Amino acid sequence: MASHSSYQNMKRFQENQSSVQVFYFQGFLFTNRQQILISLAIVLIYIFILLGNALIALLVCLSSQLQNPLYILLGNFSFTEICYTSVIIPQTLVHIVTVKKTISYTGCLLQLYFCSSFGCTECLLLSTMAYDRYLAICHPLRYSSLMRSSVCINLSLLCWAAGLLGSLLPLLMVSKLVFCGPNQINHFFCDSMKLFALSCTDIYTSKLSVFFFASAVVLGSSLLILSSYAFIMGTILKMSSTVAKQKAFSTCASHLMVVSLFYGTLIFMYIASPAMDNNEVNKGISLIYTIVTPMLNPIIYSLRNNDIHRVLDLKMIRVKMFLYSKFNGSINSRLFAET
């Protein structure tokens, strides 16, 4: 009875002491010169991420030639990349160049939620893109009926809804934690595992729930991608024409590269890097995942996609013609006014 009452008193004391309203990021250990160089590099990469992904999303929205399931999904994925990086990079830049590296308790929870929701949405979109390629290559005659534009839009909305609603679970689990004193996050953004390490209450149930949620999303989507490409490879190998094989593989090459890059860094960050038990290495891997990977995605799709090349060239020609007509019109009107 005495031990039970003391436990209750301790629990009540911890709940009363959970008054942490601000978290401090330890961030990176940089010298002043390194901070300037890193900041410039991150700014340039972030601008490229915004411009590259926004260009792909706009081309998909504005071009009738790209109004098909593959590019609708690609446009959604590019927009998600913009959202994901915008949740992390601007604040990371501020924390690199300033001494006060703080975030409010509410801001930390919001950042955790949006990182989780956009990351989850990206996983689901990539698996949906793999399913689209499976239908296009393995069932080409039924593709137009199975993957109509309306079906593709509904699948995209489903990915967004699952990401936004499913990520409420880790948000709920973390919001139930009690923080009694330590409020220094050894990272550059709010990560659930880092917050669990700061809690003074029992984290077993919360940590297990978040682990199962992340595993279900990552493993579920990766299994769907692997099974889709297993059927795709089987179909390609059965093709008698070498040209048909090359054409089929080229339609999957960009997606395969993005999937390998995305899941490779994701698995390394959450499986291999914790085993190293080196905080600075873990931060470096997280930096690659949150900044470098989103930068490479538009490069992969723009360099290897002839449809995007054609649409972009057409748009550039129209812009040049528009500017040329405007310029000639202004010169002619000026000459007419002078005469």
Q: What residues contact residue 175 under an 8 Å CB cut-off, 6+ apart? A: 109
What is the pLDDT at residue 120? 94
DSSP-assigned letters across all residues of 100-157? --EEEHHHHHHHHHHHHHHHHHHHHHHHHHHHHHHHHHHSTTTHHHHS-HHHHHHHHH
Residue 330's pLDDT is 58
Enumerate the H helices of the chain as residue ranges: 2-17, 32-62, 69-97, 105-138, 143-146, 149-166, 168-175, 192-198, 204-238, 242-267, 273-276, 279-287, 293-303, 306-338
The pLDDT value given to residue 324: 66
Lowest mean pLDDT among 26-40, 130-144, 172-186, 298-312: 298-312
Average pLDDT value for residue range 50-65 = 88
pLDDT, one tens digit per residue, over 193-208 is 888 888 888 888 888 8
Q: Which two tokens stand for residue 127?
A: 């698996």
With contact defined as beta carbons under 8 Å apart, do 75 and 47 qualify?
no
Q: How far apart are the first and last CA of the chain?
A: 105
91-112 pLDDT tens trace: 988 888 887 788 999 999 999 9
The rounded mean pLDDT for the chain is: 82
C-alpha dihedral (310, 312, 316, 321), degrees to nearest 10: 50
Question: If 0-12 CB within 10 Å is exposed, 13-18 middle and 19+ buried, where does residue 333 land?
Answer: exposed
* pTM of this structure: 0.84
pLDDT tier, 15 (very low <50, low <70, confident <90, very high otherwise):
very low
Digit-coded pLDDT (tens) for 277-325: 566 677 777 888 888 888 888 888 766 667 776 777 777 777 667 666 7
Lowest pLDDT segment from 6-15, 106-115, 118-127, 133-142: 6-15
pLDDT in tens, 252-283: 888 888 888 888 877 776 665 555 556 667 77
* Model confidence band, residue 329 (pLDDT cutoffs 50, 70, 90): low
- Provide the pLDDT for residue 7: 44
At CA 55, angle to CA 60 and CA 120, rounded to 5? Answer: 75
The pLDDT of 237-261, averaged and rounded, is: 82
Percent with pLDDT over 70 in the chain: 83
- Examine the pLDDT at 70 and tell me if it is beyond 50: yes
pLDDT given at position 14: 45
**Confidence band of 16 (pLDDT split at 50, 70, 90):** very low
pLDDT score at 155: 94
Band (pLDDT 50/70/90 cuts) for residue 158 is very high
